């Protein structure tokens, strides 16, 4: 029996031979895989050219299993997916192509087109949902409108107008805090969106949070100096707070922006009367009725100012006009008519108007007091 004796050098040589043989086998296998992958790639292209997109996809996928570094195969796969309108998978394939080869310009352009198409489609859907929400709001279907706005926001979280619409819907549903949160979200996205700022201020004012509302109205004016409504609502709060000069300034600014703003002229007249500026108050109220001859409140306020000025004939005329517009059912105007008639010495006429005013529980005590004075009971 022969005993083989291995020297150190011979052992190393044997090991190197094994490594080389293993590498050769791996290389041969790798080369074989690449050839198969290329063949599958060519078959995929042929299927694509014939319009057999499902078959092309299958071939591309098989090719990529063998050669996952083939950016051209990923690009071809993306094209095949696109033809079948499988846009998400197409976009993923193009991204894979770019991950392998960032310089693949065809994949870059194809991905841009898909992303643009997806964005356009999403934008169209957002617009549709938003418009449907607006339509439902007009119909008074506030819950349904709210759902549409939410769906629009789910697709585009930056749609500040949809948040504004949500705020209006919540307000109609008397969900005040939700409305406030929605308006604030709209403002956070677009700090210059004065409609949402104004709506937030109005909601706060309606809840009696006057000081907060005043601050927000100022922000609305800063965002849009031509926001006449913000000046008007700010003036109303100042009027309630008996800050008559500041209120008058706010109402004047509202009328400067919107010259036919009869509500602002009426409120301006009230502020000026409180300041003792009767002639200016009359002018403001006359402006109000010139822009809206059917606005009964302005006529009532005119009667009030004319009585304060001692112009009782004019006061009676204005009060009668107010009552005519209200079909005889407006106690404040009836009371002013009674005062004017009483000052003019028309006792029976004064009694008639005081009795009309006494039908209203809020004016009853005052009207009955004047009746007693007329009858000499006091």
Each residue of 154-177: pLDDT tens digit?
Answer: 999 999 999 999 999 999 999 999
What is the C-alpha to C-alpha distance for residues 57 and 78, in angstroms, rounded to an integer?
9
Q: What is the pLDDT of residue 29?
A: 53
Kindly tell me if the per-residue pLDDT of 339 is higher than 80: yes
On the question of pLDDT at 202 being above 80, the answer is yes
Query: For 296-304+314-378, which CATH superfamily applies?
Result: Tetratricopeptide repeat domain (1.25.40.10)
- How many helical (H) and strand (E) elements, i.e. helices and strands, does the chain have? 19, 0
36-103 folds as 1.25.40
Topology agreement, domain 36-103 and domain 296-304+314-378 = yes
Which pLDDT tens digit goes with each residue over 230-254?
999 999 999 999 999 999 999 999 9
Q: How many Cα atoms sit within 13 Å of 214 on the Cβ side?
A: 14
Whether the full predicted model's pTM is greater than 0.85, yes or no, is: no
Angle between helices 71-83 and 87-100 in degrees, nearest 10 = 170
pLDDT tops 90 at residue 375: no
The pLDDT tens digits of the residues spanning 178-201 come to 999 999 999 999 999 999 999 999
Placement of tokens 């299958």 in the chain: 58
Say which residues have a Cβ less than 8 Å from residue 89's Cβ, sequence separation at least 6: 81
Measured CA to CA, the distance from residue 371 to residue 52 in angstroms comes to: 99
pLDDT one-digit tens code per residue, 207-226: 999 999 999 999 999 999 99
Domain boundaries, the chain: 36-103, 296-304+314-378
């Amino acid at each position: 029996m022969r005993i083989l004796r291995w020297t150190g050098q011979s052992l190393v040589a044997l090991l190197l031979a094994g490594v080389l043989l293993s590498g050769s086998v791996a290389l041969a296998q790798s080369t074989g895989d690449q050839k198969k992958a290329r063949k599958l790639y060519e078959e995929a292209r042929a299927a694509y050219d014939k319009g057999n997109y499902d078959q092309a996809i299958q071939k591309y996928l098989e090719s990529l299993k063998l050669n996952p570094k083939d950016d051209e195969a990923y690009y071809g796969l993306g094209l095949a997916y696109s033809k079948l309108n499988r846009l998400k998978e197409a976009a993923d394939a193009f991204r894979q192509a770019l991950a392998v080869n960032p310089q693949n310009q065809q994949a870059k352009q194809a991905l841009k087109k898909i992303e643009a198409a997806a964005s356009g489609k999403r934008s169209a859907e957002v617009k549709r949902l938003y418009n449907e929400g607006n339509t439902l709001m007009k119909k008074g279907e506030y819950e349904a409108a709210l759902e549409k706005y939410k769906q629009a926001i789910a697709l585009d979280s930056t749609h500040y107008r949809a948040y504004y619409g949500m705020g209006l819907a919540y307000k109609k549903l008397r969900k005040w805090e939700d409305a406030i949160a929605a308006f604030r979200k709209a403002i956070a996205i677009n700090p210059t969106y004065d409609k949402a700022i104004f709506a937030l201020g109005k909601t706060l004012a309606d809840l009696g949070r006057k000081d907060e509302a005043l601050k927000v109205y100022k922000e609305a004016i800063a965002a849009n100096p031509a926001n006449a409504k913000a000046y008007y609502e700010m003036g109303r709060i100042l009027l309630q707070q008996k800050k008559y000069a500041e209120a008058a300034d706010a109402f004047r600014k509202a009328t400067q922006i919107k010259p036919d703003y009869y509500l602002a002229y009426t409120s301006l007249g009230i502020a000026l009367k409180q300041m003792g500026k009767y002639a200016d108050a009359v002018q403001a109220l006359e402006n109000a009725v010139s822009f809206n001859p059917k606005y009964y409140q302005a006529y009532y306020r005119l009667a009030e100012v004319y009585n304060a000025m001692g112009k009782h004939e004019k006061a009676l005329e204005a009060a009668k006009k107010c009552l005519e517009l209200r079909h005889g059912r407006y106690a404040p105007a009836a009371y002013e008519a009674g005062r004017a008639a009483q000052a003019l010495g028309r006792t029976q006429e004064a009694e008639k108007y005081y009795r009309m005013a006494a039908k209203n529980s809020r004016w009853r005590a005052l009207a009955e007091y004047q009746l007693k004075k007329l009858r000499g009971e006091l």
